């Protein structure tokens, strides 16, 4: 299976995604042709830029010969109508930092060249373009996701949503080109890392709001996110909607035979990190142990992990627990503490974090930011992992996932997922140990028998 993996260590926006696609091999002329098909008077400018030492592709939407500026260089005007509705005009706003905006009526005389469009008009613009039906479907799914997020945030019906910034020309171009470019990349499945949403606040039509903005956060439901050291808005609503529409699985980089990769640049050049999103394309592969014969059954897979350790003796237990949660949310494979006797006979904790090597630097920043340590030990080690899969069994209270570990094709361990059992125990006021015991009984009684019969008949 051919897969594409998005590394969103500096967030993602519509133009960053387009840049990564072009850098990974999608023909820029295909995207320019797509823009012409939209008949919106726009064009694409594609250039090479440097982002903290990384050479990346920057894609800009030019409307009427004007290229927008980053948000902090923009100034906004918010107008209130007699009926209490508002709309905003962001002068010089970059497509990297667009915000969708809700309005309860159509504005027929847009100021400063911007327009307020509803989903019906956007569907018409996309529908008349000579692009594939699947690309049209993807583009409309992105806009639908944006509309639903805005409707949820403003407690409004989706039909009453009229977009300003997201309905503007540059955003329509971003989203339709993203759909066409993603199709041209020719992958079977999209996967994505945890998303760095940035931090701080952002100014928009609704005042000063924390990052991520409300619509962005709504779009990122179910996705792993974290807040990095850069006090900027890193994930835009358009970027979040593209991820929500395309991505089927979140997590670390899957095992793959790498074919190509591409870097798409954001508008700013940060002082401490590369403002890029990376896409890696390749064929998914099954990991085998380094000593396994290709014709033999798969044994325990061997891979490499980064191990980070820090001794801490001046931090409260409450904060230590919070740090563990933050590290796991940020993508650590494992994080735990071990009691230790420190210098000067002080009791302390040894913090140990296991991570994918590519995530080590980012997670080390979390450790330094959230703990009192001033030093960190880092090394790489090999680890062996059993092949894992899940099945779902049904108890009298609800469904529970069973995690199954296999070695050489044989089940060597099986256990019910704790969170599933805990949820059932709380909702139905049943003892947790009873739920876990019943889940294993059903698995052993029903599933193992069916699997055994299946192998006999196979």
pLDDT at 437 over 60: yes
**DSSP character at residue 447:** I
Identify the pLDDT of residue 245: 96
Identify the pLDDT of residue 116: 61
Identify the pLDDT of residue 452: 55
pLDDT at 294 over 50: no
**Contacting residues for 209 by C-beta, under 8 A, at least 6 apart:** 201, 202
CA dihedral 170, 176, 182, 183 (to 10 degrees): -160
Domains assigned to the chain: 2-283 (no CATH), 301-385 (3.30.70.1380), 387-457 (3.10.20)
Band of the pLDDT at 338, cuts 50, 70, 90?
A: very high
**DSSP character at residue 446:** I
**Beta pairing class for 334-341 and 247-250:** unpaired
Classify 55 as helix, strand or coil: strand
Instruction: Give the H or E element holding residue 406.
Output: strand 399-407
Contact 143, 174 (CB under 8 A): no
Other Cβ atoms closer than 10 A to 257? 9
Highest mean pLDDT among 79-83, 208-212, 341-345, 383-387: 208-212
Q: Report the C-alpha gap between 389 and 374 in whole angstroms.
A: 40
Residue-by-residue DSSP string for 210-235: ESSPHHHHHHTTTS-EE--S--SB-B
Chain mean position to CA 275? 16
Identify the pLDDT of residue 428: 94
Of the two residues 429 and 455, the one the predictor is more confident about is 429
Identify the pLDDT of residue 98: 38
Which CA distances in Å does 58 have to 5, 94, 267?
19, 12, 8
Alpha helices in 212-332 (DSSP H): 214-219, 237-246, 317-329
Burial 116-146 (b: 16+ CB within 10 A, else e): bbbbeebbebbeebebeeebbebbbbbbbbb
Other Cβ atoms closer than 10 A to 338? 10
Largest Cα–Cα distance of the chain, in whole Å? Answer: 76
pLDDT in tens, 109-163: 333 344 566 778 888 999 999 999 999 999 999 999 988 888 888 777 666 665 5
Nearest one of 223, 203, 228 to 213, comparing CA atoms: 203
For 90, phi then psi, to 5°, come to -100, 110
**Beta pairing class for 225-226 and 195-196:** parallel
Q: What is the mean pLDDT of the chain?
A: 82
Other Cβ atoms closer than 10 A to 64? 9
For residue 98, whether the previous peptide bond is cis, meaning omega lies within 30 degrees of 0, is no
Identify the pLDDT of residue 301: 61
Classify 154 as helix, strand or coil: helix
Q: Report the C-alpha gap between 212 and 196 in whole angstroms.
A: 10
Burial 287-321 (b: 16+ CB within 10 A, else e): ebeeebeeeeebbbbeeebbbbbbebbebeeeeee
């Amino acid at each position: 299976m051919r897969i594409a993996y998005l590394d969103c260590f500096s967030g993602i926006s519509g133009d960053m995604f387009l840049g990564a696609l072009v850098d990974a091999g999608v023909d820029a002329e295909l995207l320019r042709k797509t823009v012409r098909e939209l008949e919106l008077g726009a064009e694409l400018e594609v250039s090479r830029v440097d982002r903290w030492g990384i050479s990346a592709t920057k894609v800009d939407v030019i409307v009427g010969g004007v290229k927008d500026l980053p948000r902090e260089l923009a100034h906004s005007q918010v107008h209130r109508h007699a009926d209490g509705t508002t709309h905003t005009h962001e002068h010089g706003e970059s497509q990297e930092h667009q915000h969708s905006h809700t309005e309860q009526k159509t504005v027929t005389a847009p100021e400063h060249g911007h327009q307020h469009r509803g989903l019906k008009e956007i569907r018409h613009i996309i529908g008349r373009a000579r692009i594939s039906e699947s690309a049209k479907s993807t583009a409309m799914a992105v806009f639908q996701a944006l509309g639903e997020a805005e409707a949820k945030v403003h407690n409004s019906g989706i039909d009453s949503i009229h977009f300003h910034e997201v309905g503007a020309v540059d955003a329509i171009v971003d989203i339709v080109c993203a759909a066409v470019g993603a199709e041209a990349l020719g992958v079977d499945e999209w996967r994505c890392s945890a998303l760095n949403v940035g931090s701080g606040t952002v100014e928009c039509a609704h005042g000063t709001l924390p990052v991520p903005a409300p619509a962005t956060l709504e779009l990122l439901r179910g996705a792993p996110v974290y807040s990095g050291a850069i006090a900027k808005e890193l994930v835009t609503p358009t970027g979040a909607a593209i991820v929500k529409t395309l991505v089927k699985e979140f997590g670390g980089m899957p095992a793959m035979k790498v074919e190509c990769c591409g870097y798409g640049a954001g508008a700013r050049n940060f002082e401490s990190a590369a403002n890029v999103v990376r896409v890696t394309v390749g064929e998914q592969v099954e990991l085998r142990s380094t000593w396994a014969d290709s014709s033999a059954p798969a044994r325990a897979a061997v891979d490499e992990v980064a191990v980070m350790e820090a001794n801490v003796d001046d931090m409260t237990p409450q904060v230590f627990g919070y740090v563990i949660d933050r590290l796991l949310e940020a993508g650590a494979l494992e994080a735990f503490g071990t009691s230790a006797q420190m210098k000067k006979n002080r009791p302390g904790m040894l913090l140990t974090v296991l991570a994918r090597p590519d995530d080590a630097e980012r997670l080390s920043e979390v450790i330094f930011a959230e703990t009192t340590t001033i030093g960190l030990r880092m090394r790489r080690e090999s680890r062996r992992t059993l092949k894992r899969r899940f099945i779902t069994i049904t108890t009298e209270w609800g469904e529970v996932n069973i995690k199954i570990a296999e070695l050489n094709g044989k089940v060597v361990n099986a256990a019910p997922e704790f969170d599933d059992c805990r949820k059932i125990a709380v909702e139905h006021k049943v003892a947790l140990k009873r739920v876990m015991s019943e889940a294993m009984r059903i698995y052993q009684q029903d599933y193992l028998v069916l699997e055994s019969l299946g192998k006999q008949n196979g």
